[in-house]
Amino acid sequence: MSGKITDSNGESLPGASVVAIHVPSGTQYATVADNAGNYRIQNMRVGGPYTVNVSFIGYTTNSYTEIVLKLGETYVQDGQLSESTTALREVIVTAGLRNSILSSERAGTQTNVSGRDLTNLPTISRSITDFTKYTPQAQGTSFGGRDGRFNTITVDGAAFNNNFGLSSNPLPGGNAQPIALDAIEEISVNFAPYDVRMSQFTGASINAVTRSGDNTFKASVYTYIRPESFTGNTVDGNEVSGANDRSSQNYGIRVGGPIITN
């Protein structure tokens, strides 16, 4: 998150205090504006909603609500403060006057898969790659015509690349998943970014972050069941002995909540 703090005349307010509060968990991020009135808060939790309080001595405090952060995107929230001696009956903050995503902070073409998307979109292999395929430039696990092994995949900043390259799967372990899909909060796919901090790939940079608890206990369960009746046992009218003698059941559960409230 970044932005600029000014007064009602458009003059910058160096030293203005900015506090962002993640409402579901009560987590707070604080900083002060620099000499030009600009501020920047990094490494914030994805999702929201957030409430941002901007204050400065001698000026009224403004609050901006219902702010939702997406993985890999810099949300721009400017603030304007009025002198406290001005008689104000109310302060009304309206959204939509400026697009918080289309800004100079953009670093190229990017696709974001939110936690809501992970819940609602179908998945076959319960893998990150099931969702990166929704990127318009994707052809399976290939981006821009490059082999999927030329991508770079990180989870919470740790590399999850197929460094040996023994299969075409971009993730290590073949068809096995190195991290459970239920542990993923959001996924972002950067295709041909011009941010110099992103490197070591010629396909796409795929980044994911894991879930964190908040002040509400939440849980989800899933199951994959394949009974014997799902498999046929005849070929061209001829019965194949033992063809449907196998069955499988996979179960999983995720639970999250506050270890310490707020």
- Domain segments of the chain: what residues? 2-81, 109-210, 218-256
Q: Tell me, what's the pLDDT at 102?
A: 55
Segment 93-103 shows an average pLDDT of: 59
Q: Would you tell me how many other CB atoms lie within 10 Å of the CB of residue 116?
A: 10
Going by CATH, does the domain composed of 2-81 fall within 2.60.120.10?
A: no
CA distance 159 to 230: 38
Name the CATH superfamily, with its identifier, for domain 109-210.
TonB-dependent receptor, plug domain (2.170.130.10)
- Tell me the range of 73-87, 186-200, 215-229 where mean pLDDT is highest: 215-229
- Tens of pLDDT, residue by residue over 47-73, are 889 999 999 988 999 999 999 998 888
Q: Tell me, what's the pLDDT at 101?
A: 55
> Where is pLDDT greater, at 105 or 23?
23
Question: 12 falls in which pLDDT band (50, 70, 90)?
Answer: very high
Per the confidence metrics, is the pTM higher than 0.85?
no
Cβ-Cβ contacts under 8 Å for 80 (sequence gap 6 or more):
5, 6, 7, 8, 62
Q: Would you tell me how many other CB atoms lie within 10 Å of the CB of residue 197?
A: 6
Percent of the chain with pLDDT over 90: 31
Mean pLDDT (the chain) is 85
Segment 206-222 shows an average pLDDT of: 90
Percent of the chain with pLDDT over 70: 91
Q: Can 2-81 and 109-210 be said to share one CATH topology? A: no
E runs forming strands in 203-244: 205-210, 218-226, 234-235, 238-239
Whether the per-residue pLDDT at 87 is higher than 70: the answer is no
**Cβ burial 154-176 (10 Å sphere, 16+ → b, else e):** ebeeeebbbeeeeeebbbbeeee
Question: 39 falls in which pLDDT band (50, 70, 90)?
Answer: very high
Q: Tell me, what's the pLDDT at 103?
A: 57
Which of 29, 92, 2, 14 minimizes the C-alpha distance to 59? 14
- Tens of pLDDT, residue by residue over 160-199, are 887 777 777 777 766 677 888 888 999 999 887 777 777 7
Whether the per-residue pLDDT at 3 is higher than 80: the answer is yes
